[in-house]
Amino acid sequence: MAKDNNFNIQTIGTATIPSPIHLDQMTGDSIYKFIEEKDRILSDVTLQGFNTCLQNNEAPVCLEKAGPRERIFFRPENTTAAIVTCGGLCPGINNVIRSLVMALHYFYGIKRIIGIPFGYEGLSPTSNHSLKELTPDMVNDIHEFGGTMLGSSRGAQPVSEMVDMLENNKIDLLFAIGGDGTLKGANAIGDEIEKRQLPISVIGIPKTIDNDIDLIDKSFGFETAFDTAAPIIRDAHNEATGAYNGVSIVKLMGRDSGFIAASAAIAMPVVNFVLVPEMAFDLYGPNGFFEALKKRLELKNHAVIVVAEGAGQHLFEKEKQITDASGNVQHRDIGLLLKDKIKEYFDSQSIKTTIKYIDPSYIIRSAPANASDSVFCNRLAYHAVHGAMAGKTKFVVGMVNNQFVHLPISKVVHQRKKIDLAGEFWFAALQSTGQPFSMVQS
């Protein structure tokens, strides 16, 4: 984490109302305690970091601890909350929606909860989408299904129009569930709200299947993604071993970061090569990927390759970049390119191969959350509600060093998190696959 002590969380007013949650500050009564504003979590827990702060006489970078406060800002009986889901689908969205509704209703007694249909598009008056009133009964079973009951969309809407919609519908809390683009949009909405001096809190809940939100340990849906990918890779391995010189290529999601591909390779250790956007590799030459693959086939007569969607884009001819409605670069299909190039390479050497290409991306992202992600989604939502009711705004709730914290939205969207190729996680992936440390020609 960058050496930047400005991780303070904005508030829209002083919290003076006693919380309806029956906690206390007594010790020894076996009851969870209210979180105090002074409670902080260290961002760097290494001894080296601690010693550096001592040597430089600096305060360590600390993050505000998430959790219920003894005093809240919003009066529950007069509060209206809204929930919006944006961007691509991801396991666990419905879990988060459900837990937000349950926490708002049962913890704080908020009766009016609105679902914004089809992402930020639903906050635009030109969309003609009808707002949904959400109740505990309505969301009771949605966690059993993938996708989002509210629908989603990509692309920006005029910020002033969205804030008009919030103001006209007397919305006090806006929970925005989404990735990098969604969070940037939430921050812009928060800026406009601040400019108008409105008492509306904006809360981000990081959602990205790629696990590429900066600073936080993980984003929800990520564990389900590689958990769901594991049996697909197992079956791809069966396909590869079922033919002489069988090669199975499995393409997984990962536009700019290869966490799903690398995690899936470690989780299902039949993978022989994992290719991610962070790594450079050459196809040809004595140290290239094809030579390594050839050696693998000579040794075992089969190979399994897992590739992230954003890997190997340097192998395509340079063309004008196409972006989606959220501004994300639309990558070329590396899986199909590898399939064609592998066949071409081995055919040129009169080596027979059987190549199978599998792309389960949309099946994986539409899956319901697994047990681990379900727990995580539940806790994220609860902490988001606690922070919102305390009057905090323009923050995301996330886990850092296994502790739930509040972070300014502006900090987590500064850059995308990527695999550290010199780090232990990538080393673990290389150890699992047995692939060369480098497949680049010197």
Cite the active site residues.
Answer: 210
Q: What stretch of H or E contains 93?
A: helix 93-102
Give the residue carrying structure tokens 């970049």.
321
Residue 88 is assigned to a ligand binding site: yes
Tokens of 406: 């509040």
DSSP state of 145: S
**What does the alpha-carbon distance between residue 153 and residue 162 come to, in Å, rounded to a whole number?**
15
The answer to the question of whether 255 is labelled as a binding residue is yes
Say how many C-beta atoms besides its own lie within 10 A of residue 70's C-beta: 17
Q: Is 305 annotated as a binding residue?
A: no
The answer to whether 364 is a known ligand-binding residue is yes
Rounded Cα distance between 257 and 286, Å, is: 27
Tell me how many degrees the CA angle 80-366-209 measures, rounded to the nearest 5: 80
- Annotated binding residue at 309? yes
Cα 367 from chain centre = 15
Q: Is 32 annotated as a binding residue?
A: no
In whole angstroms, give the CA distance from residue 353 to residue 211. Answer: 35
258 marked as part of a ligand binding site: no
Q: Is 312 annotated as ligand-binding?
A: no
CA distances from 172 to 12, 111, 365, 394 (A): 11, 13, 31, 13
Listed residue (120, 309, 304, 144) closest to 210, CA to CA? 309
Give the dihedral sign, CA 373/378/384/390: negative
d(CA 85, CA 94): 10
Q: Is 12 annotated as a binding residue?
A: no
Whole-angstrom distance, CA of residue 435 vs CA of residue 262:
12
Angle, CA of 93, 96 and 97, to the nearest 5°:
90
**222-241 vs 371-389: helix crossing angle, rounded to 10:** 160
With CA atoms as reference, report the closest residue to 277 among 248, 252, 245.
252
Pairwise CA distance, residues 253 & 311, whole Å: 10
298 assigned to a ligand binding site: no
The answer for 211, left when phi > 0, alpha when psi is -120 to 50, beta otherwise, is left
365 annotated as ligand-binding: yes
What CA–CA distance (Å, rounded) separates 132 from 176?
A: 15
Does 120 carry a binding-site annotation?
no
Q: Is 97 annotated as a binding residue?
A: no
210 is in an annotated binding site: yes
Q: SS3 of 310, please?
A: coil
> What whole-number distance in Å separates Cα of residue 155 and Cα of residue 409?
18
DSSP codes of every residue in 328-362: -B----HHHHHHHHHHHHHHHTT---EEEEE--HH
Binding residues for Mg(2+): 180
Binding residues for substrate: 208-210, 253-255, 309, 362-365
Binding residues for ATP: 88, 154-155, 179-182
Binding residues: 88, 154-155, 179-182, 208-210, 253-255, 309, 362-365
